[in-house]
Structure 1
Amino acid sequence: MNKSILWRVACLLLATTPMMSHAQDHPSATSAVSATPSVRLFRGPGDYKVWSIGINGGVLAPVVPTGGSNDFTKWKGSAGYGGYVKYQILHFLALRADYVGGKLQADNSKNLGNGATPVSPYKSFETKLPWSATLNAVFNITTVNWLFRQNFVSLYASVGGGLAGYKPTLETNSGTKRDYNNDKAIKELIIPVGAGLKFKLSEVINLDLGYTMYYTDGDNLDGYYHGPNKDKYSYGYAGLEFALGKKGKKQLQWHNPASAMYDELEAQKATLAASLDAANQNNARLTADVDKLTKDSDGDGVSDFFDKCPGTPANTKVDGSGCPLPVPVIEKKEEKIVITEEDTRIVKEAIRNLEFDFAKASIKPHSYPALDRVADLLKRKNLNLKLSGHTDNVGSKDRNLALSRERAESVKAYMVEKGVNASKIEAVGYGMSQPIASNKTAAGRQKNRRVEFTIF
């Protein structure tokens, strides 16, 4: 359909070629075109300094603005140091290999938000960070500047990944110190996310001010495993960056494409105007003919010139002549899902093996295999699941209701993590309102502490 229109337009263009060639033979048109310079917005990294090294010093702290201060209430700043090697790929993008070292400290001397003293077996910790190595992508956000020809301040952001090696030492409330992991270095995956400001002092030296948040893949940075959240730390620093390369070359990271483009386009302004004036006389007639061929009043994709069925309703599929195509009748087939005895056995086994930590919503690891089989069943048969949390009558009614809901949500979160569609799972907490046994005996209370699974 569209190909036929394009073919006819192409024939029209070929027919008008001799006329356009005659117009270009005019002296003024020829001189205007030949005088037009070529536009080169970027000449490649070979004309710039692309390698640089940096050194910095600053403050390391076991805290980030987006995740708090880990498992201790009061963080302390400690001296940190670092360095990097950077390769500038484009004016706005670079790869940077970073090294950071120092130590991290915190204690529990600060009260909680409600004024209560934190409950912890440990008084404080100190973690030695001999090294961390990461590879980061660095994005210069303010490279293109339409207001100033020469930039001297640049805002950048970075993200990457790598490894950190550290040794935590814990001090108990009684004053005893112990080395976590027998004083052996822990190697953990880290994800750095940072931002900073860079000031151009010369074509060789830059002042670098930055702040980076490090997210670890473990809860052992402070030597204290407490809760589901993973540990993190931050590094605020100031340093110098030294550009490497031949004398006279500029740094690629300070290149402003907008400035180069403006200078070259301004030089073409007069000559392009002359060329356009000559071409517009020929384009006027060509545009009228093209409009006649391409005008499509009913919007069906076939121009009025070739449309044999004008006035086709919107969103109607048509053939090459603009006439409606027959609408195929699609018969929907309902898929019947059968829940077998084996499916029921898998669910019952998961209920039987499901256990939580005392008074918490965290699932014990030995329950995972049975839950994995239920997750596989839900995905394989596209089933729905209702999770009903229940407790015994020990404790307040409000706390039991909240705990039952948290446990049901914890099972749902595990299923979603295993690939189950979250909309297929409903998690409800009933607290102690629906006992299935007497709460007067330990055995009865054990039966009442449960999460029921219902598949459908």
Structure 2
Amino acid sequence: MKKVSLFVKAMGLGLLASASAFAQYNPKASYEGPAKMNTWSVSIHGGPTQFFGDLREYDFYPVGNTNSDSYSERGTWFVGAAVGKQLSHLFGLQLGANLGNLAGMKRRQYFSYFRSNYQQVDLTGSVNLKSLLFGPNKMKHWKIDGYTGIGVLRFKSTAYQLGSGRVQRFTKHNAGDGTVTPAGYEADWVIPIGAAIHYEISPRFDIGLDFRINHVNTERLDATIGGDNSSVYDQVGSRGSFDNTLARKGSSSLDKYGYGSFMVTYKLGKNAIRVKKENGKYEYDTTKGTYHLRWTDPRNLIKPPVILTLEQIDSVAKANRPKDIDPRLLLDSDNDGVSDYFDRQPNTPAGSIVSGAGEAIDFDKYVSAALPGIACAEIFANVQFDTDKNIIKPQYYEMLNKVVELLNKTQCRLQLSGHADRRASDRYNIALSRRRVEAVRNYLVKAGLNDANRIVIDAFGSFKPIGDTSRNGLQKNRRVELRLVP
């Protein structure tokens, strides 16, 4: 039950780490932020190891002498390497591999010591405790991680009698065919739990200290299954002789071992940079390179909005103000559809049909001379309406009939733009100007227009006046503009 409880606790810590990390970011993406970030790293580490189990003389202080009744528990070591993937600023995964050795002794009851070689592979999940507890903007180049996971441990252990060095017990490998190999490697599950402190010394390299306890799912790591008081003296080396090669534990606790290590991490990725303090403040600039997600919260890369004062807004507006428009572009004094700026004949008689240059033309001769199938020149004309009316006056029938004749003979296209004066709401004037455009279009169709698809219609209401608020100006604004274009 203890090993099940231990496993559940470890997995619970891992799930809590995941929940804490992904609460900040989109769970459907490994990284969410305004700029690309580096997320991979590799590390190497090594240091002293320490065993915790039956063959351990003291709980905390390792024995340092080897003589007739003791054996040094010091001088054991390990080395390892890991590949890391940062899933968010708060949560990462590491796939690691270690190899090393262990030693321990016990005078009371056992009068034994052991030596063990081991290999371990594990997958761990880490939580960035520094950023989680203190925020990402404090201790910028420091990182404190808590981690846990699960792995597989292979070990080969031998127990000896203190003083004489006589072999008493050893691990056996069960080949599965009924045979066993003395002093062979055994394998079992291991749950690592630990903490690491890192310091970012450059855009590429971090250094750190790692402290870990590995909870092993067996009591055989020291080649001793303990807790059996019936064989206190172990005179013939039969205590825990492993006749049953599948036995994992006796009545004592499962074995554990730990280590403290020095770690060097190399951060992978292109154009690596780290945040620097400028003018007494840390500033992020993604144009200079790529930050690493281990050290940088993506939210720090989002520039805060700049709130301008009224004076600054006014200064920006003046600096970006376009040049004044020539007022002649907005005027059409003779109401011929061509602005005064381009109008070569600014005083054409009312109702004149003009060219694109604003010069009055003999529309009858133009239509008569038009050759079938050719494109026409740009021509402007207007149809005016009475107040609040969309009925075409008879005086425009002849001109509209000529327009139909020209459209049927040539490849001209016709643009109709409806307008109204300002003596009503915008909504009403838009609808009125549309009715006027439809009236002209319907007249052209009834007059024999072959292809109505060449007509484009627009309705502007009172938003494009060409006259003032006088009676004559209002009359100019109640119109449909006809523009014949190639």
Structure with the higher fraction of residues in helix conformation: 1
TM-score (norm 2): 0.41
Which structure is larger by alpha-carbon Rg, 1 or 2?
2
